[in-house]
Structure 1
C-alpha cells in the first residue's frame, strides 16, 4: 500500500485535506470519489525503502532533537528571520542526524517547495499532527504563531513523559534486578551447592528440595526457554503491528488494575491537548479527529476517535459522539457539551488536558507509593526463602561435626 496526499472539496463545498492509502493513483482517486469528494490535488508521498530505514535507524533523529529544533525555529521566525535563513543556521546547530535532514529541507524550500511539502518527505521524524499544523499555519500565513504554539506543546509533552518515565523507572529497575539476581542464583549458585549437599549426604529440608527442583528445571531448559522467548517475541511483535493485534493488547492494557486507569489518563492528556492545538490552528473538527486517530498511543482510543469523526461528519455533536464510549470519563462529554454550546471547544480541550495531566501525575505518584512497599515485601520474602533454603542445610552440616 502507498500513501497519497490529497486536497479536495466535499459535498458541502468545504475544503478538506488529508492522506489516503491505496495500491495505485487510480485507486486513490476512486476511494476519494466514493466518499463524495471533488479532487483538487493528489500526489504520492515518497516512502523510504525498508532497508534504508533500517540503516538510518542507527543514526536516527531523537524526539528531543525535534523539540529543540522547533523551539529554535520558532524563536528565529518570530524574530523576523526568513525561513531559509533560519534553516541554514539550524542545520549547523542541530544534531548530526537532524542537521542532514534540515539541509535537505532547506534545499527543497530554496527550490520553491513549500515548507510543509519539504517536511512531509520525512514522516519518520515529523508525525501527522506536526505536519498538519505546519500545513495549516503556512496556508494561513501564520507559521510563526503555529511554530510557537507547537514548540510549547512539544515541550509540555516531553516534560510530562519525562515525569511519568522517571516516576516508573525505579520500580522497573528494582524488578529487573530481582529477576536477574534470582536467575543467577538458580542457574549458577544453587547447582554448586547441590553438589556440596550430595557430597556430604545431607538431609535436605522441603524448602531446599523445592529450590533445587526449580534450579534443575531452569538449568536443563534454559536454552529452550530462550529460544521460545525469542520466537514468541518475534511473533508477538509482528502480530502487534496489525490493527487487530494492537486492539486486543491495548484493550487489555486498559483493564489492568491501577495501571489501566493511569494509562487512560495519560492517553486522554495527549488526545485533548493535541485536539485543542489542531482546532486552534483552524483545522476542522473532523479532520482534527482523523489526525489524532492516527497519533493516539492506544488502538482502543484510536478506533473510538475514528468512529467519533464519522458521527460528527453526519452532524452528531462531538460530546454525544465521544460520550458513547466507556473509556472516556463523563467529564469529557460534559465539558465538550459546554464547549460546543459556547463555541470554545479548543479552550475546553486545553483545560481538560491540564486536568488529565494533573490527574496522571497524581496517579503516577500514587502508583509508585503503592508499588514500593509491595516490592520491598516481595524482595524480603524472596531473600528470606533463599537464605533459609541455602543456609539451613549448611548449618545442619556444620552442626554434625
Structure 2
C-alpha cells in the first residue's frame, strides 16, 4: 500500500504532517477526518503515470443533491417515515451512482444506523456540514428545520456560483477567440508572408525574422509543443492536487480583479456554513472546524481553522477572526455585535448576505473592466503581427520608388 503525507489540523489547533498508508489519497484523508482532523493537502512520494491522469468524479452533483434534499424535505413535512421516503426517492432516482449510494444508506438505516451516520460514511461524496446538520436535527428532533436551513445555504452557494460562471462566459469566449486567431496567424498566415518575402530575397527587419522563427518552430514541431503543453498541465494539476494547493490558492487571492471576488466568496461560504451549523444546534468549536472545511480556498481555510484553539480557550469569535486578517472590518464588527447581543446566527446570515452583495457588485465591475481590456489587448496583438509583416512590404515599396 502506498504511503501518503497528509497535512492536517488537529483538534487542538495544531497544523502538522501525518504519514498514512492507504489505497488512495482519498482513503487516507477520510481516515484522518474520522479522527476529527481537518485535511489541508495530501501528497505521496513515488508517483506513477496513473497519478497524473484525470480521475472520474465520485461526488454527486450539487444540483442533484439539492433536488434530493428538496424532495426529502417535502416528504418529511408530509409526515412520511425516513425509510418510506427513501423508497419513494429511489424509484425516481435516475443517476446510477447516486442510486447506489442512496440504496446503501437505506440499508444502513434498516440495520439501525442513524441518518447522520449513514451520510457521514460517504464523507468523500457529501459535505461534512450536511451530516453534522442532520446529527444536530436528530438530537433536537427538528429534522425538518435542519433540512430547510441546509437548503437555504445550498441554494445561496449554487446561485452565487452561477452568477460567477455567467459573468465569466463572455470574457472566456473573447480570450478563446484571441488565442485561436493568434494560432491561426502563426500557423497559416505568417508562413505565406514568409514565402512571399523569400521570393524577393529581401533583408527583413529583426522583428519580422523573430516572428517567422516562432511560426516555423510552431508549425514544424506542433506535436512536440502540444505534448509539452499537456505534460506541463498534468504536472501542474498534480502539484495543485497535492502539496501545492495552498500556494496556488494563495496566489489566486493576489490576482487583480479576480482575487477580491474569490476572497469574498470564501468568507461567504464560511459565514453561511457557520450560521447554518450554529442555528441547528452544533457547538461553536466543531461548527468552526466543519465550516472551515466548506471553504474552497485552502489558504483561507487554513487561516480560519487556526482560530479553533483560540475559541476553545474562550477567545471571542470576532477577535479570533480579526487576528487572521481574512475578514473585513465591517464583518468583524457585525459578528462582534452578534456575539454581544446573543444574535450571532442572525448576524452571520447578515454577514453572508453582505458578502453576497459585494461579490455581485464586484463581478459587475470586473466584467465591465475586463471586457474592454481584452478587446484592446486583442487589437494590439493582431496589430503587432500585421505590423511585423507589412513593414517589409512598405520597405520594398519605398525602395522600388527610389
2:8 maps to: none
Are 2:364 and 1:365 equivalent residues in the alignment? yes
Give the deviation of 1:161 after TM superposition: 0.6
1:117 maps to: 117
Q: Is the 8 A contact 1:167 1:368 kept in 2?
A: yes
Q: Distance in 1 between matches of 2:70 and 2:206?
A: 64
1:312 maps to: 311
Secondary structure of 1:122's partner?
Answer: coil
Greater displacement, 89-98 / 307-316: 89-98
Deviations 1:336-357 (A, max 9, x none): 2111111111111000000000
Deviations 1:8-66 (A, max 9, x none): xx9xxxxxxxxxx8859xxxxxx99x99xxxxxxxxxxxxxxx9xx9993776311100
Q: List alignment gaps of at least 5 residues for structure 1.
A: 3-9, 11-20, 25-30, 36-50
Give the deviation of 1:397 after TM superposition: 8.0
Secondary structure of 1:57's partner?
Answer: coil
Q: Distance in 2 between matches of 1:61 and 1:334?
A: 37
Deviations 1:62-100 (A, max 9, x none): 111001111111111112111112111111323323223
2:338 maps to: 339
TM-score between both structures, scaled by the size of structure 1: 0.80
Q: Is the 8 A contact 1:292 1:305 kept in 2?
A: no
1:183 maps to: 183
Q: Could you say if the C-alpha distance between residues 58 and 259 of structure 1 is closer, same or farther in structure 2, counting changes exceeding 3 Å? A: closer
Give the deviation of 1:204 after TM superposition: 4.3
Give the deviation of 1:114 after TM superposition: 1.5
Write out aligned runs for 1:1-400 (5 A): 57=56, 61-97=60-96, 98-202=98-202, 204=204, 208-220=208-220, 222-243=222-243, 245-390=244-389
Q: Is the 8 A contact 1:90 1:99 kept in 2?
A: no
2:41 maps to: none
CA RMSD of aligned residues (A): 3.1
Secondary structure of 2:255's partner?
Answer: coil
Asked which structure has the greater RCO (Cα within 8 Å, sep 6+), the reply is 2
Q: List alignment gaps of at least 5 residues for structure 2.
A: 5-10, 12-17, 22-31, 37-49
Q: Is the 8 A contact 1:74 1:151 kept in 2?
A: no
Q: Distance in 1 between matches of 2:384 and 2:54?
A: 48
Secondary structure of 2:324's partner?
Answer: coil
TM-score between both structures, scaled by the size of structure 2: 0.80
Q: Distance in 2 between matches of 1:77 and 1:90?
A: 12
